[in-house]
């Protein structure tokens, strides 16, 4: 499997190859495009950078079909509020019409993908459009190296999947996803329904916190959260960075700390590369769960948006039915009647006579004293004996001792002291508490229990009932430590 990512100022490749014994071997490489060359998409320049990335991998590692992740710079994006009276059958037509009205003629023969979200009783469509010209240029770019596009994914949808669950669906606030790199930091603006703007935010990394303050003032949307990725994000202190930029900062590494994607990255030996190749690993996660089609562009047919044409219609002329043409005989068929050879007729008559004689002989064989024909007597066949196999006895589920469960407690409400209080309560029940801390955000309405299996989850859930936690959420982990992120539903005595 080959994944090629063409981003704002970077080209990345991740490839997985199956080896003997079913083991996967992965390779990855990336190159940053200089600022002056990344401002415009020049086919020749990008071809040279793509060649450079390919040369960093073993020879013939990447060939044939590729899954293409495209940066926001290649897409037109519109966020449409859908009228309440638009039916599901009419939805596609409505979106097509809005694309033409908003984007113009280049939307006529483009490819598009839309995602529907509900927010406070209203429906919104996030629509990603890839024009025919852009698609043609990208096809040409890859064809230089004998690569063919198999699927296309908007990077914004993959990025949103990284932190979507941490957003408060009830608040109208924007979250800025920003990748903190050496020279340039690039990002996109989201809210709880998805991408807000098609504009890629580009900030010089020098004095980043100061420029983020300026950006917060300039944006019409209130930026309430900053999801900070990129390789330099691991070098900051969360509390200091939050104070300096004036936006509550959440490092992406912390958001993904207990996630399925971190487990998958570890399985693929990409754990140390999770921040750099987050889009590719997010895609691999979708493929693992067979959910990739939900974010992929449909390339089977071009999503053509024909312009309506009005043609004057005259009175219809009467249609005179025409008779079906008569079959024409060939020259040979029209001149000669079929000939039946005499020898063939004689052979047929001879066969009829012989078969008649045999039939007569069989019916009269008894009269001529040639013996009798015996018929077999019906014999009774004993019915098969059913052997009843006793049902195997269910193996009783081994009892889980609370003292064998190690728990990490995370505060998802922001109320000071609650984590320590809950630690005391759980330790009284003989649970082992490894550490307490703060969750990735303080907007948890519902308590989350991240456990290795349902048995541990049910035991802890039953113990939390006395603290008004009636419906905790279950998430699975492969680790031995259970994480309890308590939300607003937890009430301690």
> In the prediction, which pLDDT does 346 show?
60
Segment 123-156, tens digit of pLDDT: 889 999 999 999 999 999 999 999 999 999 999 9
Residue 432 has pLDDT above 90, yes or no: yes
Q: Please say if the pLDDT value at position 262 is more than 80.
A: yes
Structure confidence at residue 73 (pLDDT): 94
pTM above 0.75, yes or no: no
Tell me the two tokens of residue 89: 């059958």
82-91, 150-159, 232-241, 299-308: least confident range: 299-308
pLDDT at site 438? 87
Q: What percent of the chain has pLDDT over 70?
A: 80
Q: Is the pLDDT of residue 111 over 60?
A: yes
Would the pLDDT of 12 be above 50? yes
User: Lowest mean pLDDT: which of 26-30, 238-242, 391-395, 478-482?
Assistant: 391-395
More confident: 466 or 309: 466
What is the percent of the chain with per-residue pLDDT over 90, rounded to a whole number?
A: 39
Pick the residue with more confidence: 39 or 156?
A: 156
- Cα–Cα–Cα angle for 450, 454, 456, rounded to 5 degrees: 70
More confident residue, 396 or 250: 250
pLDDT for the residue numbered 360: 61
Q: Is the pLDDT of residue 403 over 80?
A: yes
In this model, does residue 336 exceed pLDDT 50?
no
User: Could you give the CA distance from residue 326 to residue 324 in angstroms, rounded to a whole number?
Assistant: 6
Q: How far is CA 435 from CA 285, 483, 484, in A?
A: 29, 10, 11
Confidence at residue 308, expressed as pLDDT on a 0 to 100 scale = 36
Q: What is the pLDDT of residue 345?
A: 58
- Write down the pLDDT at residue 420: 85
Whole-angstrom distance, CA of residue 466 vs CA of residue 428: 14
CB within 8 Å of 359: residues ≥ 6 apart: none
Q: What is the pLDDT of residues 58-98, one digit of tens each?
A: 888 888 999 999 999 999 999 888 988 888 888 888 888 88
Q: Exposure string (b/e) for 435-469, b if CB count within 10 Å is 16 or more?
A: ebeebbbebbebbbbbbeeeebbebbbeebeebeb
Span 315-323, average pLDDT: 34
pLDDT (0 to 100) of residue 325: 37
What are the pLDDT digits (tens) for 338-363?
Answer: 444 445 556 666 777 676 666 665 55
pLDDT for 333 equals 37
Sign of CA dihedral 96, 78, 84, 165: positive
* Mean pLDDT for the stretch of residues 26-54: 91
Decide if pLDDT at 287 tops 60: yes
What pLDDT is recorded for position 165? 85
Q: What is the mean pLDDT of the chain?
A: 80
In order of their start, the domains of the chain are 72-167+253-294 (3.30.420), 402-486 (3.30.70)
Q: How confident is the model at residue 201 (pLDDT cuts 50, 70, 90)?
A: very high
pLDDT of residue 310: 34
Contacts for 412 with CB less than 8 Å, ≥ 6 apart: 439, 441, 442, 443, 444, 447, 448, 485, 486, 487
C-alpha pair distances (Å), 323 with each of 263, 327, 328: 73, 12, 15
Higher pLDDT, 456 or 289: 456
């Amino acid at each position: 499997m080959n994944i090629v990512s063409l981003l704002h100022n970077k080209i990345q490749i991740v490839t997985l190859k199956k080896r003997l014994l079913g083991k996967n071997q992965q390779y990855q490489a990336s190159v940053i495009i200089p600022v002056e060359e990344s401002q415009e998409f020049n086919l020749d320049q990008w071809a040279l950078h793509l060649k450079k990335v390919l040369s960093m991998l073993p020879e013939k590692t990447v060939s044939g079909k590729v899954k293409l992740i495209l940066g926001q710079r290649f897409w037109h994006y519109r966020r449409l509020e859908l009228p309440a009276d638009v039916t599901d059958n009419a939805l596609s037509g409505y979106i097509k019409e809005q694309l033409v009205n908003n984007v113009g003629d280049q939307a006529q023969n483009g490819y598009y993908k839309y995602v529907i979200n509900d927010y406070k009783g209203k429906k919104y469509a996030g629509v990603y459009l890839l024009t025919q010209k852009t698609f043609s240029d990208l096809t040409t770019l890859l064809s230089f190296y004998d690569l063919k596009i198999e699927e296309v994914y908007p990077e914004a949808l993959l990025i949103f999947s990284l932190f979507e669950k941490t957003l408060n669906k009830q608040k109208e606030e924007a979250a800025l996803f920003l990748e903190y790199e050496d020279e340039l930091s690039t990002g996109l603006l989201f809210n709880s329904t998805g991408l807000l703007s098609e504009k890629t935010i580009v900030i010089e990394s020098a004095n980043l916190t100061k420029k983020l303050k300026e950006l917060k003032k300039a944006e019409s949307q209130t930026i309430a959260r900053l999801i900070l990725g990129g390789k330099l994000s691991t070098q900051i202190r969360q509390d200091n960075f939050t104070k300096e930029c004036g936006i509550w900062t959440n490092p992406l590494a912390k958001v993904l700390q207990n996630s399925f994607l971190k487990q998958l990255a570890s399985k693929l030996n990409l754990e140390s590369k999770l921040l750099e190749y987050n889009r590719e690993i997010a895609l691999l996660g979708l493929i693992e769960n067979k959910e990739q089609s939900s974010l992929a562009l449909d390339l089977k047919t071009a999503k053509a948006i024909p312009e309506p044409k009005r043609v004057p219609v005259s009175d219809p002329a009467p249609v005179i039915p025409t008779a079906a043409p008569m079959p024409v005989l060939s020259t040979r068929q029209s001149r000669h009647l079929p000939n039946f050879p005499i020898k063939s007729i004689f052979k047929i008559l001879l066969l009829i006579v012989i078969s008649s004689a045999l039939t007569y002989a069989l019916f009269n064989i008894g009269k001529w004293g040639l013996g009798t024909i015996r018929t077999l007597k019906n014999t009774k066949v004993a019915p098969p004996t059913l052997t009843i196999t006793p049902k195997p006895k269910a193996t009783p589920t081994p009892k889980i001792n609370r003292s064998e469960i190690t728990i990490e407690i995370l505060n998802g409400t922001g109320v000071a002291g609650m984590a320590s209080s809950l630690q005391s309560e759980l330790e009284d029940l003989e649970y082992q508490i490894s550490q307490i801390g703060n969750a990735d955000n303080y907007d948890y309405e519902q308590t989350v229990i991240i456990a290795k299996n349902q048995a541990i989850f049910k035991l802890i859930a039953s113990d939390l009932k006395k603290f008004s936690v009636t419906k905790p959420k279950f998430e699975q982990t492969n680790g031995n430590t259970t994480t309890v992120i308590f939300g607003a539903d937890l009430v301690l005595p």
